[in-house]
């Protein structure tokens, strides 16, 4: 524990120390991976509090995820010893939500506004599309939503968007966008983009409300600045307008979120917008071996649009990067598992949690998970169907949202007939119509069911009953803690009964999950010291994929390359190093897209401290089709002398249970050595060996096209005799 600031500064190298101690005025740190940028932010907060006696609440430190914020808080707490930290450390979204809870009324919102996550957004988009009869078959709601989101990232209003919409797609988006914004308003809800947009609006147009924040945040720090978007940059510029005490750190080579509106130029514009800024360059990497850095540097050098950077380390030279070319994706997964086992035997101190498996697309995790389960290796997937994405949890949260904000009709629609109460589609449509004619919320319309024309008597009664039930909870919310509300909803809404009557194992699991939700609420109350419903909901709404990852459990971690940003592991595996997968086909249309994929590759490799193992598969099943794959160009970009190549494509590892779940039944019969056969992906070839029989008949075929021999299980892939 550091009680003296000198000691704290001893943990830093010279340029890091400069970045930490230059507390007044703008500072920009542009530096490569693992050079201690995040460390600079952490130590700077500690230094401001410890040496400059700045009150913690006067510091705004922005991290990329809530989890990173938590970690940072923990580190600072350790560095400072005893000071209790009530600083604003967190994501942009969390900070904005906190401001808006206090100020949103000046924009016409009620302070109990709901925060809509992606699934709410999507259902609202669909609802709007239905309203103007846009079919979901011809217009992808997801595509429309991301277009809307990109517009909001640039603070383009629906009106402005409509004016500039030049093609058919944008014109349809404009129609949906207008309704979507209106819908959010009517629901007293904000989506994630609104949190940023509205906070900025208050800063720019409501000085009477925002002056206090300019004064409050005397020091502002931003990590991962290369992935900020336009609005986020405007936010910090506005907040730091008077004092310029703004420290940003980033790496242009790690900008990987441009598809979500991140603007790499923010990092470069910083020195133009703040010409007096102290620029700090960090060149020493503390994380990786020299060989890993050499490989990462060699890859990223192929990008045209970048600032050249030096990066070196005094760490060991290290071992070569392994490239395993697998027979198929099952073989790939098994190799990875086997290799982790081997590494753990070699290095006794290596734990499962020191090993990570990255991939480009979420779908890739399934086969790896299957193989891990089969091998009985404990693992966790970061960002898959997480706790808060489960149906029963979403349902109860929807109840809570309605209670917090009765105008939230998206949530109300979700639960009005869950559990079933005899409120059918038509009834709901009538209530919706009544709401829009009378210009009231759906909740209010439900309460006035007796005025809604042409409703069946039992439907009317059901609406009144559910309204009375929810109103009772609305009244109660001020008096009882969030945990009590959760308990009451589960027990009295009929939800628990519904599950209890269901004898399936699944229903039991759902009940257990609801118990877990109670624990989550109780835990939150304890940690935050706030038992209000609003605080709990906000905590739930702002959760991101990575937040629930508990790295203290000794599990192998699976995640996408995007999620891996900022993290480090001893051994890193990157699966699916294949053209069209990584780099991803969608990105290949433009040079820009390809460069972002390459940065993603750079991010992946530089997460590793000691070992990097890259794998590709010769064939891979995608969307039910087995395709022949080409190794990723990024593999070619790593100098040969840094690579140890292992060729697994001959399929020695293939075992009998391969493909067991994915093959159509084989009906053919005899294959003989010397036969010419045709394969759907590899073309013509000659059989060199035959093993097994029946279902397990396997042949080795040397294909003419590339003169490579591959083991093929006949049952699969429609191997035909010629
Ligand atoms: P990334 O670009 O991946 O976000 P970064 O630049 O933020 O990386 P950090 O995560 O801050 O780098 O640091 C990388 C590793 O090096 C961490 O384990 C950190 O504790 C260590 N480190 C950083 N600076 C020093 C230093 N001066 N002395 C010893 N270790 C250091
Ligand atoms: Mg970092």
**For the segment 119-148, what is each residue's pLDDT rounded down to a tens digit?**
788 889 988 998 899 988 888 888 899 899
- 156 in a domain, yes or no? yes
Q: Which residues surround ligand 2, an ion (CB under 5 A)?
A: 37-38, 566
Residue among 67, 286, 606 whose CB has most ligand 1 atoms within 8 A, to mutate: 286
CB distance 12 to ligand 1 below 6 Å: yes
* Beta-carbon contacts of residue 33 (< 8 Å; ≥ 6 apart): 251, 253, 254, 285, 287, 288, 296, 311, 602, 603, 606
The active-site residue, picked from 607, 610, 698, 715, is 607
Domain boundary among 628, 654, 680: 654
The CATH code of the domain that includes 583 is 3.40.50.300
**Which of 65, 91, 254, 615 is the catalytic position?**
254
Residues 73 and 83 sit within 8 Å (Cβ to Cβ): no
* Same domain, residue pair 12 and 96: yes
Let me know whether 177 and 261 are in one domain. no
pLDDT digits (tens, 9 = 90+) for 656-677: 344 333 333 333 456 777 788 8
In which band, very low, low, confident or very high, does the pLDDT at 3 lie, cut at 50, 70 and 90?
A: low
Q: Answer whether residue 314 is part of any domain.
A: yes
Between these two residues, 649 and 409, which has the higher pLDDT value?
Answer: 409
H or E stretch covering 359: strand 355-359
Lowest mean pLDDT, pick from 90-94, 161-165, 502-506 = 502-506
**Is residue 108 situated within a structural domain?**
no
Sheet holding 709-713, edge to edge: 709-713, 698-703, 683-691, 676-679, 720-721
CATH of the domain at 689: 2.40.10.170
Ligand 1 atom having least distance to the Cα of 12:
27
Among 259-268, 573-582, 705-714, the range scoring the smallest mean pLDDT is: 705-714
Contacts of 204 (CB under 8 A, 6+ apart): 210, 238
State mean pLDDT over 502-506. Answer: 71
Residue 557 resides in a domain: yes
Nearest ligand, CA of residue 223?
Answer: 2
pLDDT of residue 508: 75
* Other Cβ atoms closer than 10 A to 138: 7
Q: Rounded to an integer, what distance in angstroms lies between the CA atom of residue 68 and that of residue 621?
A: 35
Confidence bin at 651 (pLDDT 50/70/90): low
**What predicted TM-score, i.e. pTM, was given to this entire model?**
0.77
Q: What is the pLDDT of residue 667?
A: 38
Q: Are residues 321 and 415 in the same domain?
A: no
Domain that holds residue 11: 2-101+196-284
Same domain, 646 and 692: no
Yes or no: say if 565 and 256 are a contact pair by the CB < 8 Å rule. Answer: yes
Kindly state if the Cβ of 16 falls inside 6 Å of ligand 1. Answer: yes
Question: What is the C-alpha separation between 243 and 245, in angstroms, rounded?
Answer: 5
Reply yes or no on whether 370 is catalytic.
Answer: no
Co-location of 426 and 519 in the same domain: yes
Instruction: Count structural domains, the chain.
Output: 5
Asked if 227 and 83 sit in the same domain, the reply is yes
Confidence bin at 197 (pLDDT 50/70/90)? very high
Beta bridge partners of 643: 321
Strand partners, 625: 622
Whether residue 621 is predicted with pLDDT greater than 90 in this model: the reply is no
For 356-398, write each residue's pLDDT tens digit: 999 998 878 888 988 888 888 888 888 755 667 778 989 999 9
34 lines ligand 1 (CB under 6 A): yes
What is the mean predicted confidence (pLDDT) over 242-249?
96
Final residue belonging to a domain, choices 142, 162, 187? 187
Q: Which residues contact 559 (CB under 8 A, 6 or more apart)?
A: 356, 357, 358, 381, 382, 383, 546
Instruction: Answer yes or no: is 16 within a domain.
Output: yes
The response to whether residue 20 sits with its C-beta less than 6 Å from ligand 1 reads no
> What's the whole-number mean pLDDT along residues 628-634?
95
Tell me if 226 CB under 6 Å of ligand 1.
no
Name the DSSP letter for residue 464.
H
Rounded mean pLDDT, 446-452: 95
Domain co-membership, 44 together with 92: yes
**From the CA of 41, how far away is ligand 2's center (Å)?**
9
Q: Which of 14-18, 28-32, 107-111, 291-295 has the lowest mean pLDDT?
A: 107-111
Mean pLDDT over 62-82 rounds to 86
Distance 288 CA to ligand 1 centre (A): 10
Query: How far, in Å, CA of 20 to CA of 46, rounded?
Result: 9
Examine the domain organization and report whether 214 and 257 are in the same domain. yes
Of 9, 11, 31, 34, the residue with max ligand 1 atoms within 8 A of its CB, to mutate for a pocket test, comes to: 34
556 and 526 within one domain: no
The domain that contains 179 carries what CATH number?
1.10.10.160
**Cα distance from N-terminal residue to C-terminal residue, the chain:** 75
Q: Which of 240-249, 332-341, 475-484 bottoms out in mean pLDDT, i.e. has the lowest?
A: 475-484
Query: Does residue 421 share a domain with residue 520?
Result: yes
pLDDT in tens, 39-68: 999 999 999 999 999 999 999 999 988 888
Q: Pick the last residue of a domain from 134, 156, 187.
A: 187
Regarding whether 706 and 625 lie in a shared domain, the answer is: no
Asked if residue 670 is part of any domain, the answer here is yes
* Mean pLDDT, all residues of the chain: 88
Q: Is residue 107 part of a domain?
A: no
Please check the confidence at residue 95 and state whether its pLDDT lies above 50: yes
Question: Is 696 a residue whose pLDDT tops 80?
Answer: no
| Rounded average pLDDT over 325-340 | 94
Are both 406 and 467 inside the same structural domain? yes
Among left, alpha and beta (phi > 0; psi -120 to 50; other), residue 592 is alpha
Write the CATH number for 524. Answer: 1.10.486.10
The answer to whether position 106 is within a domain reads: no
């Amino acid at each position: 524990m550091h009680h003296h600031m000198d000691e704290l500064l001893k943990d830093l190298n010279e340029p890091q120390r400069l970045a930490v101690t230059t507390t007044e005025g703008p500072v920009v740190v542009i530096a490569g991976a693992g050079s201690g940028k995040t460390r600079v932010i952490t130590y700077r907060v500690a230094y401001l509090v410890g040496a400059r006696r700045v009150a913690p609440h006067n510091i705004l430190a922005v991290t990329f995820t809530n989890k990173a914020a938590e970690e940072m808080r923990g580190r600072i707490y350790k560095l400072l010893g005893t000071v209790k930290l009530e600083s604003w450390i967190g994501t942009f979204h969390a900070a904005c939500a906190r401001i808006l809870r206090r100020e949103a009324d000046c924009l016409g919102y009620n302070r109990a506004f709901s925060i809509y996550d992606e699934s709410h957004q999507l259902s609202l988009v669909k609802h709007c599309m239905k309203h103007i009869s846009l079919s979901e078959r011809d217009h992808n709601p997801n595509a429309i939503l991301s277009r809307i989101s990109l517009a909001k990232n640039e603070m383009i209003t629906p009106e402005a968007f409509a004016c500039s919409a030049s093609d058919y797609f944008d014109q349809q988006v404009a129609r949906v966008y207008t309704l979507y914004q209106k819908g959010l308003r009517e629901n007293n809800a904000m989506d994630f983009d609104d949190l940023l947009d509205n906070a900025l609006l208050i800063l720019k147009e409501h000085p009477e409300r925002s002056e206090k924040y300019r004064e409050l945040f005397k020091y502002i720090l931003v990590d991962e600045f290369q992935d900020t978007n336009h609005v986020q940059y405007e936010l910090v510029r506005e907040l730091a307008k008077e004092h310029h005490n703004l420290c940003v750190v980033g790496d242009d080579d790690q900008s990987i979120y441009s598809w979500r509106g991140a603007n790499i130029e923010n990092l470069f514009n910083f020195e133009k917008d703040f010409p007096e800024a102290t620029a700090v360059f960090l060149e020493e990497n503390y994380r990786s071996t020299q060989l890993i850095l050499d490989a990462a540097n060699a890859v990223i050098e192929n990008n045209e649009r970048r600032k050249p950077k030096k990066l070196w380390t005094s760490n060991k030279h290290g071992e070569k990067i392994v490239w395993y070319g697998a027979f198929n994706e099952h073989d790939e997964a098994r190799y990875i598992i086997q290799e982790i086992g081997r590494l753990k035997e070699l290095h006794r101190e290596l734990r499962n949690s020191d090993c990570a498996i990255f991939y480009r697309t979420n779908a890739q995790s399934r086969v790896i998970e299957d193989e891990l389960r089969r091998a009985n290796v404990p693992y966790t997937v970061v960002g898959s169907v997480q706790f808060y994405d489960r149906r029963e949890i979403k349902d109860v949260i929807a109840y809570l949202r309605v209670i917090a904000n009765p105008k939230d009709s998206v949530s109300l629609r979700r639960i009005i007939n869950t559990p079933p109460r005899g409120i059918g589609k038509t009834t709901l449509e009538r209530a919706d119509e009544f709401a829009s004619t009378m210009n009231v919320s759906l909740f209010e319309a439900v309460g006035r069911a007796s005025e809604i024309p042409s409703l069946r008597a039992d439907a009317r009664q059901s609406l009144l009953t559910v309204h009375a039930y929810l109103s009772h909870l609305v009244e109660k919310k001020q008096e009882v803690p969030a945990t009590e509300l959760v308990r009451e909803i589960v027990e009295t809404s009929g939800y628990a009964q519904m599950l209890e009557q269901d004898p399936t194992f699944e229903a039991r699991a759902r009940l257990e999950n609801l118990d877990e939700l109670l624990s989550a609420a109780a835990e939150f109350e304890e940690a935050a010291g706030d038992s209000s419903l609003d605080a709990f909901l906000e905590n739930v709404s702002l959760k991101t994929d990575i937040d629930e990852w508990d790295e203290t459990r000794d599990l192998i971690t699976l995640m996408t390359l995007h999620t891996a940003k900022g993290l480090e592991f001893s051994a890193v595996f990157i699966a699916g190093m294949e053209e069209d997968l990584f780099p991803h086909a969608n990105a290949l249309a433009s040079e820009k897209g390809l460069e972002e994929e390459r940065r993603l590759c750079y991010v992946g490799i530089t997460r590793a401290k000691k070992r990097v193992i890259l794998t590709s598969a010769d064939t891979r099943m995608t969307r039910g089709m087995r395709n022949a794959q080409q190794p990723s160009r990024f593999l070619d970009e790593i100098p040969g002398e840094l690579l140890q190549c292992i060729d697994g494509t001959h399929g020695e590892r293939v075992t009998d249970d391969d493909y067991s779940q994915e093959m159509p039944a084989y009906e053919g019969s005899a294959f003989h050595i010397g036969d010419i056969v045709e394969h759907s992906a590899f073309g013509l070839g000659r059989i060199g060996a035959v093993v097994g029989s029946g279902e397990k008949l396997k042949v080795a075929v040397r294909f003419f096209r590339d003169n490579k021999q591959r083991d093929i299980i006949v049952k699969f892939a429609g191997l035909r005799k010629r």
